[in-house]
């Protein structure tokens, strides 16, 4: 059983933001994806506010978002392949991609760099961040 299709190779080149743009372009959903992708903070923002948490530091948010989108993409292919010949179908990739893209967008409002080099961050009010991520998705 072939799990990953040929299109996936196009997503293995470039920065996380370039990979996310390629996915959005292929699906024809660039306009909605650009709400996150065009935000000047997105490519450089931290994915967390504490050094011991995953994807902390400059560019962490884009890297984390790419990893989640890529996981959704691969899982979607896998589950659709498993469902072939069955009346059960997995959900399409469009909503998975958008959910993954927007799932942590609120961090751009909650986390702030505390130095010019963007090597230290503070913030991260979980309740507010979760609410903002939902609102912007």
Three-class SS state of 16: helix
Q: Using the structure block, give the residue that is written with the tokens 């059983």.
A: 1
Q: Given the DSSP bridges, would you call strands 111-113 and 121-123 parallel, antiparallel or unpaired? A: antiparallel
The whole-angstrom separation of Cα 88 and Cα 55 is 36
Residue 61 near residue 104 (C-beta atoms within 8 A): yes
The whole-angstrom separation of Cα 66 and Cα 16 is 5
| Most confident option among 30-34, 43-47, 121-125 | 30-34
* Res. 108 pLDDT band, cuts 50 70 90: confident
Is residue 1 one of the residues assigned to a domain?
no
* Res. 4 pLDDT band, cuts 50 70 90: very low
- Residue-level pLDDT at 9: 56
**Count of domains observed in the chain:** 1
Is residue 11 one of the residues assigned to a domain?
yes
Structure tokens at 49: 């506010």
State the residue range of the domain holding 18.
6-136
Structure tokens at 33: 């994806």
Is residue 126 one of the residues assigned to a domain?
yes
pTM of the predicted model as reported, rounded to 2 decimal places: 0.78
The whole-angstrom separation of Cα 40 and Cα 45 is 9
Is residue 37 one of the residues assigned to a domain?
yes
The whole-angstrom separation of Cα 60 and Cα 52 is 13
What integer is the mean pLDDT of 110-130?
68
Res. 23: pLDDT tops 80: yes
Angle at 105 between CA 56 and CA 115, to 5 degrees: 40
**Residue 117 CA to its chain's centroid (Å):** 24
Res. 25: pLDDT tops 50: yes
Is residue 36 one of the residues assigned to a domain?
yes
What integer is the mean pLDDT of 128-136?
50
Per-residue model confidence as pLDDT tens digits over 64-90: 999 999 999 988 888 888 877 777 776
Is residue 18 one of the residues assigned to a domain?
yes
Nearest to 26 by CA among 96, 93, 91: 93
């Amino acid at each position: 059983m072939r799990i990953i299709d040929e299109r996936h190779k196009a997503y293995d080149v470039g920065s996380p933001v370039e990979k996310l743009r390629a996915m959005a372009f292929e699906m024809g959903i660039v306009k909605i994806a650009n709400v996150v992708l065009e935000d000047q903070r997105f490519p450089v923002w931290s994915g967390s506010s504490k050094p011991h948490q995953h994807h902390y530091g400059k560019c962490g948010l884009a890297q984390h978002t790419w990893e989640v989108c890529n996981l959704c993409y691969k899982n979607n292919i896998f589950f659709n392949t498993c469902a072939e010949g069955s009346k059960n179908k997995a959900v399409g990739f469009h909503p998975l991609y958008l959910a993954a893209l927007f799932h942590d967008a609120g961090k751009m409002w909650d986390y702030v760099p505390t130095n010019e080099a963007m090597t230290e961050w503070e913030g991260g009010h979980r309740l507010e961040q979760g609410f903002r991520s939902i609102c912007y998705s």
